[in-house]
Amino acid sequence: MDDVYYSTGQTARELGVTQAKVRALCESGAIESTCTAGGQRRISTAEVERLRSEGLPSIPRPLPDQDREAVKNKAGRSRHTEAALLDEPSEAVIDSAEEVVCLENEVKSIGLKRQKEEALDWFRERVEKGVQQLTERRAADQERRNREAAERQRQAWEEKWLKYALDSIPREVPQALRTEAYRAAQEALTQLGGMRGESITRQLVDAAVHRGLAVWLKAKELATAVEKACDSAPWTMRHDKAWRARMVETASAAIARLQSGASAAQLQLVTSQAVAPLIAEFEHRDVCSRMVAEVWKLLPSYKTEELDEGKEVVWRALSEVKVGTSRREIERIRDAALEPTRAAISRRLDREMRSGVLQYVEFRLIGLADSLKKEALTAIAGALNGLPAGTSKFELERAKEAVIDQYRQKQQRLEQKQRLIEGGVRQIQIYLNKLSAEWEFDKSTFALARELEKPIRAGLEQELRGDEDSEEVDNRVRRLVRRELEI
């Protein structure tokens, strides 16, 4: 590692002596030193440590001749012209010369100190100027950042309120009008010249959007008034295209007759009054239409032509009724118009009821001899004709039963039915044998027939009357077998 060297001034401070003494010791060789390329003396760290431990030696003095020669050489190097010594210098002279040298060095030191102070003053002035410039630059940068922050804050504020303006525009507004309202809000914010409180800004933006949408809002207000007037009508009227078109046309015409600047309440009142007669007309027609449609409720056991006739006479009668007539009066007019039709239906029903009572008499008399059957039929017809018009079906049936009770032979009919059922059950095995030629069963036809016997018998019990022939019974058996087998 390279040794470290001290200058003569540093060495003097380390040893607590003057620099002149260190320099004199170096020149005399008492202190080991080296010279730099610029003629400056440097003393090693080891030499300084040695001097600190051993102490400084005395400055050696030259011989008188050598001292005189040195003084001459020194005097010759002086910038001032001095008188040459005529004899060897005395001790006093030498001390005087040394004092002169010290004074010269002191003067030089003072000059150097002055130069140092001047340099320090210049450096301080430069530092102060630099600090001032730095402070000014920092202030300018801070001002610029403040302006940028203020601008960003203003832009964020403007974007916030422009978004509020867009959000406040209804979705159904056309794009062109949305753009116009947006521009109006943008101009209003620009004219403010800076940020304002939320309440004031909201009012200004709302006002700007309202101005941009003034035409659309007015049209919307009119349409809303018409819509509310239509909504006051019954549901079926609102959803009937023809009636709704009439209401819209009537309400719009009423609005057109108003002066400009009418309030929303005035618009609503005028449109409601305009459609009120239409609503009354619709409700009157609706009541009449419902009464015509519900004529069937007032006609017992009607036929299509009778119902059509009843609707026609009721519609003609109600078409002459004025709007505003009470519902009770309309019902009275309807009932009066429908009375002839109801009487005709009652007469027809009486005839049909009597015919119905006689319709199945022959089936009830199966097994009777022809003479007895004719006699029974004649007796039943005479009994029914003897009852007055309007007699209930129950009374007619009871009269008929009273006549034919003596002719019944229920047992024979039951026996006949049983014979048919037994014959049908025997056909199950036969039909299964035929089906086995085309279908493969997982059981024998005999076992399958035994399983099907009970449900087939129940089906025949339910379907047969006792007067069927064997072929019809066979067909029923086949159908029941296929149904049980799900073929």
Contact criterion met (CB below 8 Å) for 286 and 238: no
Phi, psi of 444 (to 5 degrees): -70, 155
pTM of the model: 0.39
Instruction: Tell me the pLDDT tens digit for each residue of 159-213.
Output: 888 888 888 888 888 888 888 888 888 888 888 877 788 888 888 888 888 888 8
Give the 3-state secondary structure of residue 173: coil
Pairing of strands 5-7, 34-35: unpaired
- The Cβ of residue 430 has, within 10 Å, a number of other Cβ atoms equal to 13
Q: What is the 3-state secondary structure (H, E, C) of 338-371?
A: HHHHHHHHHHHHHHHHHHHHHHCHHHHCCCCCHH
Phi, psi of 41 (to 5 degrees): -85, 140
**CA-atom Rg of the chain in angstroms:** 69
* HSE-up of residue 429 (Cα within 13 Å, Cβ side): 8
Instruction: Tell me the pLDDT tens digit for each residue of 22-32.
Output: 888 888 888 88
Cα(153)–Cα(162) distance, rounded to whole angstroms?
Answer: 14
Print pLDDT tens along the chain (487 aa).
Answer: 456 788 888 888 888 888 888 888 888 888 888 888 777 888 888 888 888 888 888 777 665 555 445 444 544 444 433 444 444 555 565 556 667 777 888 788 887 887 877 777 677 778 778 788 888 888 888 888 888 888 888 888 888 888 888 888 888 888 888 888 888 888 888 888 777 888 888 888 888 888 888 878 788 888 888 888 888 888 988 889 999 999 999 888 888 888 777 788 888 888 899 899 999 999 999 999 999 999 999 988 888 999 999 999 999 999 999 998 999 999 999 999 999 999 999 888 888 888 888 888 888 776 665 666 787 888 888 888 888 888 888 898 888 888 887 766 555 666 677 888 898 899 888 888 888 888 888 888 889 889 989 999 898 888 888 788 888 888 988 899 888 887 6
User: Token match 């209401």: residue?
Assistant: 247
